[in-house]
Amino acid sequence: MRLAGFYLFALGVALLPILFPDNYFVIVVGASAGLHVILAVGLNLLMGYAGQISLGHAAFFGMGAYASAILTTRFGWPSLLALAAGLLATGALAWLFARPILRLRGHYLAMATLGFGVIVHVILVQATQWTGGPDGLSGIPALNLLGWRVDGDEQWYGVIMAAMLLVVWLTLNLVDSQVGRALRAVHGSEFAAQMMGVDTGRAKTQVFVISALFAAFAGSLFAHQQAFVSPDSFNLTVSVELVTMVVLGGLASTFGAVCGAIALTLLQQGLVVFEDYEMLIHGALLMAVMIFMPQGLFVGLSQAARRVRHRLKRRQPLPST
């Protein structure tokens, strides 16, 4: 079945809080991992499937978060409307930037997206009258979903997980469609894709916008969940972490990105006890994965499983022909 993996994943997400009731770690870290999954799955569409790197993805995350924060606190907009406006603004900006930026390739694209991320971060810090500057914005009202005020860790777990499952489902559908194949073709051979009639400029623009929209969506949820935003949540380190999640799980695999996001979230939580050594262990683990499993954890392990199955099958005597 095409979506068997997805249903299994959804079941796991639903069972977690039932199996571990009143468990702070599962609920809070789970919600955090869910937001990371949305971000990583979106970035993986761009990086893994279309083969275009972005080192400034935290900028779109931040734009969604600040759009919700500013519109609800300073203008008193309803949260759902602010979320929609944030998506619209981020999508429009991504669309404007996509054409000139995606003409670049490789290192040049990496530098351009890096620059974009830095610029947005600087604006968040400097435009004090709007963003509150380095101190950020507090007092963001609760997310109001048509009358239901999302409140408390359990409810947030539910909302974020529902949003995450929606994003994963949309992504799985997209990848396994004509649109997704065109994207993968751009990655496989841009020239051949063009000769098959794929408007590669348009395809890259589309995926850039979708990727930015997912990030902005996660950003809006994050702002309401935390009730507070500050520029530090959207700096270069976050962009690099997002890239790490995608690469760690395995490029061009949606569940790879899911696993990468969950693994890195757990790792960050687990490493908190090591305090100063956190970044050291973080880096060493990354290097180890890159050296021993360059195709990523999820993809590497599933390939290994397939090899073992293949070998077992071969051991059986062949039918005589």
Partner 1 sequence: MTALSSALLPSPLLAVTGLEQSFGGVMALAGVSFQVAEGLIYAVIGPNGAGKTTLFNALCGFYQPSAGSIRFADQELLGLPPHRIAARGIARTFQNLQLFFNMTVVENVMVGCHLRARTHLLAAALRLPWVQRQEQQLREWAIAALELCELADRAGQPAGSLPYGLMKRVEIARALAAKPRLLLLDEPAAGLNDTETMALRDLIGRIRANGVTVLLVEHHMPLVMGVSDRLLVLDYGSVLAEGAPADIQADPRVVAAYLGGAVNYAV
Closest CA to 69 of 112, 3, 10, 127: 127
* Candidate residues 65, 165, 193, 218; the one interacting with partner 1 per rule CB under 8 A: 193
188 touching partner 1, by CB under 8 A: yes
Report the distance separating Cα 99 and Cα 318, nearest Å.
55
Least separation in angstroms between residue 149's CB and partner 1 is 29
| 180 counts as binding partner 1 under rule CB under 8 A | yes
Place of tokens 């054409």: 99
Binding letters toward partner 1, positions 237-266, x by CB under 8 A:
---------------x--------------
Tell me how many degrees the CA angle 202-48-195 measures, rounded to the nearest 5.
40
Tell me which residue of 25, 75, 83, 35 sits closest to 58, measured CA to CA.
35
Q: Which stretch binds partner 1 (CB under 8 A): 70-78, 103-111, 142-150, 192-200?
A: 192-200
- Kindly give, in sequence order, each residue whose CB lies less than 8 Å from that of residue 59, ignoring residues fewer than 6 positions away: 116, 117, 119, 120, 121, 234, 239
Residues facing 149 on adjacent strands: 144
94 near partner 1, judged by CB under 8 A:
no
Instruction: Specify the stretch interacting with partner 1 by CB under 8 A; choose among 16-24, 27-35, 63-71, 194-202.
Output: 194-202
For β-strands 148-149 and 228-229, DSSP reports them as: unpaired
Q: Does 104 bind partner 1 (CB under 8 A)?
A: no
Selected binder of partner 1 within 100, 139, 147, 197 (CB under 8 A): 197
270: contact with partner 1 by CB under 8 A: no
Nearest to 29 by CA among 157, 216, 167, 159: 157
Q: Which is nearer to partner 1, 46 or 120 (CB)?
A: 46
Q: CB 246 → partner 1: shortest distance, Å? A: 15
- Name the segment binding partner 1 (CB under 8 A); options: 139-147, 195-203, 258-266, 287-295: 195-203
Q: Within a 10 A sphere around the Cβ of 21, how many other Cβ atoms?
A: 9
**What is the Cα gyration radius of the chain?**
20
Query: Is residue 194 involved in binding partner 1 (CB under 8 A)?
Result: yes
Residue 88 binds partner 1, judged by CB under 8 A: no
- Under rule CB under 8 A, residue 200 binds partner 1: yes
Asked whether position 321 contacts partner 1 by CB under 8 A, the answer is no
Write out the DSSP string of 106-163: HHHHHHHHHHHHHHHHHHHHH-HHHH-GGG-EE-PPPPEETTEE--SHHHHHHHHHHH
Of residues 202 through 241, those in contact with partner 1 by CB under 8 A are 206, 210
Angle, helices 254-271/30-44, rounded to nearest 10 degrees: 140
191 binding partner 1? (CB under 8 A): yes
Beta bridge partners, 144, equal 149
Give the residue, chosen from 162, 187, 227, 240, that forms a contact with partner 1 under the rule CB under 8 A: 187
Nearer of residues 49 and 234 to partner 1, judged by Cβ: 49
In the three-class reduction of DSSP (H, G, I as helix; E, B as strand; rest coil), residue 63 is classed as: helix
Binding footprint of partner 1, residue count (CB under 8 A): 28
Minimal distance, residue 129 CB to partner 1, in Å: 37
Under the binding rule (CB under 8 A), the answer on residue 178 touching partner 1 is yes
Rank residues 120 and 198 by Cβ distance to partner 1 and give the closer one: 198
Binding site for partner 1 (CB under 8 A): 170-171, 173-174, 177-182, 184-185, 187-189, 191-200, 206, 210, 252
